[in-house]
Amino acid sequence: MRYSRPRGTRDFLPGEMALRRAVEQKMRSVFIRYGYTEVATPTFEHLELITAKSGEEILAHLYHFKDKGGRDLALRPELTAPVMRLYVNQLQNSPKPLRLYYFGNCFRYERPQAGRYREFWQAGVELIGPASPEAQAEVIALAEAVLRELGLRNYELHIGSVGVLRKFLAERGVAEEEQCRIMGIIDKGDRELLEEELLKLGLSQEERSTIAGVLELTGGRDAVLSKARELLGERRAALEELLSLEEILDALESFGVKYSLNLGIARGLDYYTGMVFEIYAPKLGAEKQICGGGSYSLAETFGGKPVATSGFAFGFDRIMLALQKDGVELRGDEGVQVMVIPFGEEYLPKAVEIASALRRSLACELEVMRRRVKRALSYASSKGVPFVVLVGEETARGRVLLKHMRSGEQREVEIDRLEELLLEEAGV
Ligand code: HAM
């Protein structure tokens, strides 16, 4: 009986895994260079943590279950809520700003397709403490720096604000819960339903068309901002939000980041309050969003003191796809660098000794199938192992045979110098 994988999940074979690790490593190195330190949280959480403020979109796609003690639990669909729970419970009194990064698997019960999985990985950051425009600009710049480090060429950064529309609605007396619902409808792109719902909330024709107009605004900074100001007219709170966005864009200038302004971004999560951004890799088609983030508020929802927070998460699997589509050459870990083969059982103890010594610095495989040298060599060659150490009668003179697999060249070398020679030749 063979078993297949659950729908929407994947296995990763060694070659692909090596590439994923190499890319993950690069992403981590950028996070670290921006002053972030890693945290990890459980794969499952109490269901209420996720339902507290994550939005319809995510809830509909949640994996949740009761455990044997009758507790309602959910597999995490994202990491911002877990990280903010961790912050409220354990890090509230730490010096600010707190810069936390994470890399972990997430689960969403969605219809699988290219770039959309039921288990996927996110690499993200949360910046806790500063509310300044430069702090938020730096979060955006960090996302961009990661893509530059990875060598991705085809991507578009779109920056917007959910604050503008939220404040517009708040000024009209629309409660927060209703605002979240409206933002969810906008995120799904259903403009007809939006019109209906706004009508139900009692918004006038003029107000509805102002909202529709603002949502359409996308393009260069100056054009979008002046049109938005014109549309918003005297709506004070919404205009203030627009001003905050402008300050972030000003701060972004010195980071040298290129972007489009897009006031139509609503995000699928309820906790966003102000600036939001998304990065798209157009070559990925329908699932082209490779990164999403913004400023949000969650600490007080989880019983903490209010604190300014912003962050983002990359869809790691989509990053891998985007890099491939862009033709970026990826190099994974080389795998086994040297194989040690004894000439028969009598040389096995010496071979073990040599392999153990080499493993201090090299990836070394020992022949443990008791194959004849010829067969072991053809295995090494089929695996692309670059060097083989043959352990035989030369050991009596403190020597072994070192074989260079690509050229076939073989020479006697001193055991004591073996590691040094291999490191030199393998270019480690
Ligand atoms: P999100 O936009 O829901 O935001 O997810 C972030 C990224 O995860 C998306 O841009 C996408 O690349 C990837 N992603 C989402 N669902 C899937 C899926 N089913 N398969 C493959 N990739 C997927 C968040 O999760 C926020 N927590 C981001 C954030 C951090 N905001 C503030 N801090």
Separation of CA 382 and ligand 1 centre (Å): 40
Residue 428's pLDDT is what? Answer: 54
Q: Which atom of ligand 1 is nearest to the CA of 110?
A: 19
362: left (phi over 0), alpha (psi -120 to 50) or beta: beta
**Residues 254-307: pLDDT tens digits?**
999 999 999 999 998 899 999 999 999 999 999 999 999 999 999 999 999 999
Continuous segment of H or E residues that includes residue 16: helix 14-33
Residue 53's pLDDT is what? Answer: 83
Using alpha carbons only, what angle is made at residue 9 by residues 8 and 15, rounded to the nearest 5 degrees?
A: 130
Separation of CA 79 and ligand 1 centre (Å): 9
Which segments of the chain belong to CATH 3.30.930.10? 14-325
Q: List C-alpha distances in Å: 252 to 96, 109, 243, 317, 382.
A: 22, 36, 14, 28, 51
Q: Report the predicted TM-score, pTM, of the whole model to 2 decimal places.
A: 0.94
Which segments of the chain belong to CATH 3.40.50.800? 338-426
Q: How many CB atoms within 10 Å of residue 200?
A: 9
The residue nearest atom 18 of ligand 1, judged by CA position, is 116
Q: Which residues contact 351 (CB under 8 A, 6 or more apart)?
A: 340, 341, 342, 366, 367, 391
Backbone torsions φ then ψ of 160, nearest 5 degrees: -150, -160
Alpha carbon 156 to chain centroid distance? 17
Query: Is the peptide bond between 133 and the residue preceding it cis, with omega within 30 degrees of 0?
Result: no
Give me the half-sphere count of Cα atoms (radius 13 Å) on the Cβ side of residue 274.
26
In one-letter notation, the amino acid at residue 264 is G
Residue 19's pLDDT is what? Answer: 97
* Cα gap 339→125, rounded to integer Å: 41
Alpha carbon 283 to chain centroid distance? 18
* Cα gap 233→254, rounded to integer Å: 30
**CATH superfamily placement of domain 338-426:** Anticodon-binding domain (3.40.50.800)
pLDDT less than 70: residues of the chain: 55-56, 428
Query: What are residue 275's DSSP bridge partners?
Result: 161
Separation of CA 314 and ligand 1 centre (Å): 6
* Cα gap 13→28, rounded to integer Å: 22
**Residues 310-365: pLDDT tens digits?**
999 999 999 999 999 999 999 988 788 999 999 999 999 999 999 999 999 999 99
Separation of CA 234 and ligand 1 centre (Å): 35
* Cα gap 112→114, rounded to integer Å: 7
**14-325 CATH:** 3.30.930.10
Backbone torsions φ then ψ of 389, nearest 5 degrees: -110, 120
What is the tally of helices (H) and strands (E) in the chain? 15, 17
284 touches 290 (CB < 8 A) = yes
Residue 351's pLDDT is what? Answer: 98
Q: Which residues line ligand 1 (CB under 6 A)?
A: 78-80, 108, 110, 116-117, 120, 122, 124, 126, 268-269, 289-293, 296, 311-313, 315, 317-318
